[in-house]
Structure 1
Amino acid sequence: MCFSAEAWQDYREYVEKYGADISIKDFVILYGDRGAGAKIKIPKGMDTPFMHATTGEAQQVRELIERFNAEQVAKLEQDLFKQSRRLADAERSLLSKETVKAREDVRIATNKIAAGRTKLADIKRTTAKPGDGRIFPGAHGLVLVSEGGKRVVRPMRYQCRPAGKPAVYDRKYPGTYNARRDNLEGFWKGQFGHSHGLMVVNTFYENVEGPAGNQVLQFTPRTGEPMLVACLWSHWTDPKGLEPDLLSFAAITDDPEPEVAAAGHDRTIINIKPEHIDAWLNPDPGNLGELYAIFDDKRHPFYEHRIAA
């Protein structure tokens, strides 16, 4: 499995490195749906290229980001005021009498104030930092696809809901952020050979059970080269028209690289070679063997690992 990854979230990198166009309309829809109350998680790194936009739909995205951030700041400040008052009341109570409730109120309020200040600072900061591009299942990331023979970068949710399936699939199959190679012609037959994408990743993270219990390990190619992760994606629409459209994707996983297996994990994402990009993005459903050959010719950088902070 690829539980989370530090991925490219600035669309300009895809434009410069891979000659991609940007589907700006998708960003307007995504940020608009979030602003309207949809539970959409967007990494801060995806906001970056829009923050100085002054024209067109890019400016519209910036305004949606600013409006959403202002609402979040207002909520956090209200909660900080509430928790500060709770803390002060509990501390006054403790001056006259030691009680379990007052002591617990101090602990809870202190923790919530610290967490709230951290979130507030993160929303307000304008400088980038490591982790801005990290995505977890359920969050949105950038995916390179091909449309009419042209490379296009689109924002998609990292947990694929196949077209035609009910929305309940998100709960029924929570692991659909990854697609196993040995099940591509089974569960994923509607996407394999039809709708392919690539996610560019610098490092990925896995949960591994060790002697000391569960640990999160970070894997990074020793070469330092970004990984071109083979993905499947889908455009889901609600037949009843009650829910917004959903673009979503899954990263394909294969048997583990030896060093990943030695670290205790049983799957590895497929890191394809640059020369296979167009063949992968423009699949022939009548020649699945060619697609498997791309997997067999994947890159094998040594994935160094360390315990994640």
Structure 2
Amino acid sequence: MNYFRTAILLAGLTALFMGVGYLIGGGKGAIIALLIAGATNLFAYWNSDRMVLATYGAQEVDRNSAPELVELVAGLAGRAGLPMPRVFVMDNPQPNAFATGRNPQNAAVAVTTGLMQSLSREELAGVIAHELAHVKHHDTLLMTITATIAGAISMLAQFGIFFGGHRSNNSGPGAIASIVMMILAPLAAMLVQMAISRTREYAADNVGARIAGQPMWLASALVKIENAAHQIPNMDAEHNPATAHLFIINPLSGHGIDNLFATHPSTANRIAALQQLAAELGTRGAGPWTPAEPDDSARNPWDRSPRPRGPWG
């Protein structure tokens, strides 16, 4: 159902893009808009990962520079049946993470220094498993495409308002409708983009929790990240809000925004879904607002380290 809903939303976004092109240049404008969408998506397909990683100053790490993190990613990737992704660290105090890349063979997982410092090993495993679920389902490519089309719609709409839309005369309902459409099209594109993002987050939570083996590890991490995101600004994200949907929790500091405009589902709803999954799987876990207490009998087979007593300790 999630895939069907995503396909419908993506089709609607493409139709909206072509509709704006039609308003600007008629039938030829719609065709040109489709060609522009194809060209921008082709560029994004090959370059999106490098662009977003550079935007956040992410530095690649290996087993020498960050052995615990890389080993954790490697173990989870093996459990997920994925190739080992490249691992990056962003020097940012806000705990957060995202995955990028056009396919599992060219994927990257990036975490902030704040995430590594504030989460336990179990919680970090839950977050990384969530990001690997995005990679497994090719969500990283999907979200790049939706962001690209949404941005192109806004660009075309601004172009149409500036130069005037395609119409037989410059007065009457047709002219007014065209102007209204060009104003509302970017807003509609943003809403569709956010709806796709919210749909994919629920799916990644579910699959990521299964990869990690304990849904409440991710639930506990979401609580900590959500609380910190409202207190610790992410200035790179503030300067590039179009990338906010890539993160596991919205990194922007906006307050009082209606749920309709949220790039992510409600954290409380995500935790409730994880609690339900934990009950279905019969795994032990703490309540929705407290960190899950690790249990040696339920530990994953890839984890041979001593039971941690605190963040990375």
When normalised by structure 2's length, the TM-score is 0.28
Structure with the larger helix share: 2
When normalised by structure 1's length, the TM-score is 0.28
